[in-house]
């Protein structure tokens, strides 16, 4: 599932290429025809990401709410003024590379014929965006959008005043394993399996530690590292949590194998202690950790 940095990159791309423009909204697949009709012909005024939720606000007070889930993705295209990635979302290989760039068509004359099950198509005078495979795709009011946001924990990529303290409070009031709490969207919005595994390792926190047993200082470090690593993901478009010293020398860019400390590295030596990285099930999810480091 795309993690929070990908959703914030989506919001930034929509902000750059669609906000302020009147959009034609349709549902080539036909499963979102009524919702598309409610948005068609209106101006997009804001794109907001919180955790894994994306909200596109229109000038008449309605929002397009999208949660990509495991299989959702947006694809983009347009003329030479339409900049950004050509695809953001799932499925992803390790590293979550995006396709790009989206624009550059000097003879752009409109969007191509839809390919596959396009749930929503947004078209401006300069480009288009197609949504496929999303778990949630709905038109909501501002009150309904607020209710969704109220259910979520703080987002490290928004990092609003008080968010750090609120995360610490939510984490430490639960006896659930910290590895599960780091992916509980009501505790911490936007973190998925990769950031969870990597932040816990980087901060030397045993994933089976109960949240209530994590001291305030350590909880604060978890928040700060999530802010740092996820911000890098927004900038780079992929998740890289290792320092350049661990990358293959001479390579033009960090490889998928070098990008992480423990995620998807089970069966390989730990970069810190040499113990074989393990994989376990926790809450029906795969957990990558080092038995030697106990993190």
Residue holding tokens 């197609």?
130
Q: Residue 166: which H helix or E strand, with range?
A: helix 163-172
d(CA 47, CA 271): 39
Q: Indicate which residue of 147, 285, 286, 291 is catalytic.
A: 285
Query: Is residue 3 annotated as a catalytic residue, yes or no?
Result: yes
Q: Indicate which residue of 9, 28, 52, 164 is catalytic.
A: 52
Q: CA 259, 5, 184, 67 torsion: positive or negative?
A: negative
Kindly state the tokens that stand for 199: 């932040």
Query: Is residue 52 annotated as a catalytic residue, yes or no?
Result: yes
Collapsed DSSP state (helix, strand, coil) of residue 16: helix
Collapsed DSSP state (helix, strand, coil) of residue 217: helix
Collapsed DSSP state (helix, strand, coil) of residue 183: coil
Could you tell me whether strands 127-132 and 118-123 are parallel, antiparallel, or unpaired per DSSP bridges? antiparallel
HEC profile for 35-76? HHHHHCCCEEEEEEEECCEEEEEECCCCEEEEECCCCCEEEE
Rama region for 245: left / alpha / beta (φ>0; ψ in -120 to 50; rest): alpha
Give the residue from 192, 205, 212 showing the smallest Cα distance to 286.
Answer: 192
Query: Is residue 2 annotated as a catalytic residue, yes or no?
Result: yes
Query: What distances in angstroms separate CA 121 from CA 43, 124, 125, 280, one per listed residue?
Result: 15, 10, 13, 40
d(CA 92, CA 134): 14
Query: Is residue 114 annotated as a catalytic residue, yes or no?
Result: no
- For the annotated catalytic residues, the residue numbers are 2-3, 52, 285
């Amino acid at each position: 599932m795309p993690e929070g940095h990908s959703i914030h990159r989506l919001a930034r791309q929509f902000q750059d290429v669609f906000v302020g423009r009147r959009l034609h909204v349709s549902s080539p697949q036909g499963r979102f025809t009524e919702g598309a009709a409610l948005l068609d012909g209106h101006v997009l005024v804001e794109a907001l990401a919180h955790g894994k939720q994306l909200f596109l606000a229109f000038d008449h007070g309605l929002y397009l709410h999208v949660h990509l889930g495991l299989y959702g993705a947006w694809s983009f295209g347009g003329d030479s003024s339409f900049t950004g990635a050509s695809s953001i979302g799932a499925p992803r290989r390790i590293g979550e590379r995006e396709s790009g760039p989206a624009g550059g068509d000097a003879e752009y004359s409109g969007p191509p014929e839809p390919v596959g099950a396009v749930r929503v198509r947004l078209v401006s005078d300069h480009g288009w965006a197609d949504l496929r495979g999303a778990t949630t795709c709905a038109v909501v009011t501002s009150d309904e959008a607020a209710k969704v946001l109220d259910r979520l924990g703080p987002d490290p990529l928004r990092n609003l005043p008080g968010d750090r303290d609120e995360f610490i409070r939510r984490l430490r009031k639960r006896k659930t394993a910290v590895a599960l709490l780091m992916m509980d969207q009501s505790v911490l919005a936007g973190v998925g399996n990769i950031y969870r595994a990597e932040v816990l390792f980087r901060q030397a926190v045993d994933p089976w530690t109960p949240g209530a047993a994590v001291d305030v200082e350590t909880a604060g470090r978890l928040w700060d590292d999530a802010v740092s690593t996820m911000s890098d993901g927004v900038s780079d478009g992929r998740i890289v949590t290792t320092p350049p010293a661990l990358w293959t020398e001479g390579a033009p860019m960090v490889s998928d194998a070098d990008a992480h400390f423990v995620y998807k590295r089970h069966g390989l030596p730990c970069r810190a202690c040499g113990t074989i990285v393990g994989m376990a099930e926790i809450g029906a999810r795969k957990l990558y950790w080092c038995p030697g480091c106990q993190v």
